[in-house]
């Protein structure tokens, strides 16, 4: 099994290596996975947190003159911040779905990719897939030679992705993104957190079933009587051994489902009020 130890470059295939950042936690699992794609020319997917040791591990694994691109799946703080430090070492081109970075970001996006655009290296082609829902700017990248999907935070290894409306997450859009990915012919998913996934279709179907199950729970509870978000969290997650730091995240998920149902005309309410079935 390739290593998930931070700072260790592990080969996942002839074209792909992974280095785990030293930022483990309840939302990041063992840490953010940074992927190096290519040999003579290298694309770095998601540099991760601004950690000098992690950047040195990336540069040491690929050699600075070979790193030509930095590809960003999205701009969350466990994916973006190392970009400026890595570019300073390598001069790589920064590629993302938009130039509108967070205000506190030091990086600059050099090239904007739209759906179907590609980054072409000596030995590989990476196709950009616009995949919003977890974040509005989210991209996945499809390695054409191996049918490997670099899924960012859309699909994770060993845990479910969080959809946070306060950071631009949209549950209805996220489910549509999963449905799109389910239709792709994939051999493997390389997620931003956790192990590689060798049963892509089954995993994506499990994600869709999980979201449908949560939505059904919300509907059933609102059919009983109106509930606030905190009450729904207690009813839905109360029987589970949920760590305290994840209670807030559960609230984000419930709110995201409520907002999706509201957009569909099924419920009314706000983040602070009780929610009612229409």
Q: CATH code at 152? A: 3.60.15.10
Q: CATH code at 238? A: 1.10.10.10
Q: In angstroms, what CA-CA distances link 95 with 31, 44, 56, 73, 245? A: 22, 10, 21, 9, 33
5 inside domain: no
**259-269: pLDDT as tens digits:** 999 999 999 99
137 inside domain: yes
Residue span of the structural domain in which 147 resides: 10-198
**pLDDT at residue 203, rounded to an integer:** 98
Q: Is the pLDDT of residue 1 over 60?
A: no
246 inside domain: yes
- Please tell me the distance from the alpha carbon of residue 128 to that of residue 255, in angstroms, as a whole number: 29
Ordered alpha helix ranges (H), 14-160: 52-62, 83-90
Instruction: Please give the positions annotated as active site.
Output: 78
- Please tell me the distance from the alpha carbon of residue 177 to that of residue 130, in angstroms, as a whole number: 9
Residue where a domain terminates, one of 149, 165, 198: 198
Q: Is the pLDDT of residue 190 over 90?
A: yes
Q: In angstroms, what CA-CA distances link 154 with 44, 133, 208, 238, 252? A: 18, 8, 11, 26, 16
Considering the domain architecture, whether residues 170 and 236 belong to the same structural domain is answered as no
- Please tell me the distance from the alpha carbon of residue 121 to that of residue 151, in angstroms, as a whole number: 19
- Please tell me the distance from the alpha carbon of residue 176 to that of residue 272, in angstroms, as a whole number: 27
**75-132: pLDDT as tens digits:** 999 999 999 999 999 999 999 999 999 998 999 999 999 999 999 999 999 999 999 9
Considering the domain architecture, whether residues 189 and 215 belong to the same structural domain is answered as no
Helices 52-62, 83-90: inter-axial angle, 10-degree rounding: 40
Residue where a domain terminates, one of 198, 217, 249: 198
Residue where a domain terminates, one of 172, 198, 224: 198
Considering the domain architecture, whether residues 191 and 241 belong to the same structural domain is answered as no
More confident residue, 271 or 199: 199
**pLDDT at residue 5, rounded to an integer:** 87
29 inside domain: yes
Percent of the chain with pLDDT over 90: 91
């Amino acid at each position: 099994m390739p290593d998930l130890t931070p700072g260790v470059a592990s080969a996942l295939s002839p074209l792909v290596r992974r280095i785990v950042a030293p930022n483990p936690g309840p939302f990041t699992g063992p840490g953010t996975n940074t992927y190096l794609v290519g040999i003579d020319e290298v694309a770095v997917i998601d540099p991760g947190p601004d950690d000098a040791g992690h950047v040195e591990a990336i540069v040491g694994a690929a050699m600075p003159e070979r790193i030509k691109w930095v590809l960003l799946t999205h701009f969350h703080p466990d994916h973006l911040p190392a970009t400026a430090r890595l570019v300073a070492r390598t001069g790589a081109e920064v590629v993302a779905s938009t130039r509108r970075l967070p205000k506190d970001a030091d990086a600059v996006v050099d090239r904007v990719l739209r759906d179907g655009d590609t980054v072409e290296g000596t030995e590989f082609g990476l196709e950009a897939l616009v995949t919003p829902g977890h974040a509005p700017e989210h991209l996945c990248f499809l390695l054409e030679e191996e049918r490997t999907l670099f899924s960012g935070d859309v699909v994770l290894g060993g845990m479910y992705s969080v959809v946070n409306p306060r950071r631009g997450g949209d549950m209805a859009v996220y489910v549509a993104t999963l449905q799109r990915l389910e239709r792709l012919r994939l051999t493997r998913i390389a997620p931003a957190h956790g192990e590689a996934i060798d049963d892509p279709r089954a995993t994506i179907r499990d994600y869709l079933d999980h979201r449908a199950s949560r939505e059904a729970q919300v509907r059933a509870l609102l059919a009983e009587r109106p509930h606030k978000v905190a009450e729904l969290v207690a009813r839905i997650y109360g029987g589970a051994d949920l760590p305290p730091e994840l209670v807030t995240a559960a609230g984000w998920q419930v709110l995201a489902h409520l907002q999706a149902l509201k957009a569909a005309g099924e419920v009314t309410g706000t983040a602070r009020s009780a929610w009612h079935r229409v």
